[in-house]
Structure 1
Amino acid sequence: MADIEQTARNGHDEHGGHGGRSGQGEPYDLDAYLDRIGWKGERRAGLATLRGVHLAHALSLPFENLDPLRGTAPSLAPADLMAKMVHGRRGGYCYEHNTLLRLALEALGFRVTPLAGRVVVGAETPESRPRTHAMLRVEVPGEPRPWLADVGFGAAGALLLPVPLETGTVFEGAGRRHRLVRLPHEGPLELWELQAYAGRGDGWSGQYAFTQEPFAPADFEVFNWFVGTHPRSPFTRRPYLQRTTADRHLALDGARFTETRADGTVTERTLTDEAEARRLVAEEFGIEVPGGFDLLG
Structure 2
Amino acid sequence: MTDAPDTKTSTPASPAGTAGTAPHSASPLDLDAYLARTGWSGERRATVETLRSLHRAHLEAIPFENLQPLLDTAPSLALPDLQDKLVRSRRGGYCFEQNTLFTAVLEAFGFRVTRFAARVVLGAGPGDVRPRTHMTLAVQVPAAAPGDPVRTYLADVGYGSVGGLYEAIPLVADVEVADGVRSHRLIRRPHHGPSDLWTLQARQGGVWTDQYTFTEEPFEHPDFEVFNWHVGTNPRSPFRYSLIAQRTFPTRHLALHNRTVVETREDGSAEERRLGDDEDLVAVLARDFGIELPPGTRFPTDLTGA
| Same-fold status (TM-score > 0.5) | yes
Alpha-carbon distance in 2 for matches of 1:160, 1:239? 23
* 1:218 and 2:219 matched: no
Match of 2:199 in 1: 193
Could you tell me which residue of structure 2 aligns to residue 46 of structure 1? 47
In the alignment, structure 1 segments of 5+ residues that lack a partner are 1-21
TM-aligned CA distance change 1:215 to 1:51, over 3 Å: same
Structure 2 CA distance for partners of 1:186 and 1:99, relative to 1, 3 Å = same
Q: Report whether the alignment pairs 1:207 with 2:211.
A: yes
* Deviation readout 1:175-232 (Å, 9 max, x if unpaired): 00000001221101221000000113xx100000000100010000000000111111
Identity %: 53
1:170 counterpart residue number: 176
Task: State the distance in 2 between where 1:27 and 1:292 align.
Answer: 35
CA–CA distance in structure 2, aligned partners of residues 136 and 148 of structure 1: 6
Structure 2 CA distance for partners of 1:126 and 1:158, relative to 1, 3 Å: farther
Contact 1:240 1:252 (C-alpha < 8 Å) held by counterparts: yes
- Structure 2, unmatched stretches of 5+, are 1-22, 144-148, 302-306
CA contact (8 A) 1:258 1:268 kept: yes
In the alignment, the residues of structure 1 paired with residue 127 and residue 202 of structure 2 have an alpha-carbon distance, to the nearest angstrom, of: 16
> CA offset at residue 92 of structure 1?
0.2
Q: Distance in 2 between matches of 1:101 and 1:24?
A: 12
Equivalent-residue separation in structure 2 for 1:36 and 1:291 (angstroms): 23
Deviation at 1:291, TM superposition (A): 6.1
Correspondence 1:1-297 to 2 at 5 A: 24-124=25-125, 128-142=129-143, 143-200=149-206, 203-290=207-294, 293-295=297-299, 297=301
Q: Which structure would you say has the larger RCO, counting Cα contacts within 8 Å and 6 or more residues apart? A: 2
Q: So what's the TM-score if we normalise by structure 2? A: 0.86
**Please, what is the CA RMSD of the aligned residues?**
1.6
Q: How far 1:264 moved relative to its partner?
A: 2.4
Q: What is the CA deviation profile of residues 232-253 of structure 1, one whole-angstrom value per residue up to 9, with x for unaligned ones?
A: 1111102100001122210110
- d(CA) in 1 for partners of 2:101 and 2:208? 29
Change over 3 Å in CA distance of 1:192–1:251 after alignment to 2: same
Aligned residue pairs: how many? 274
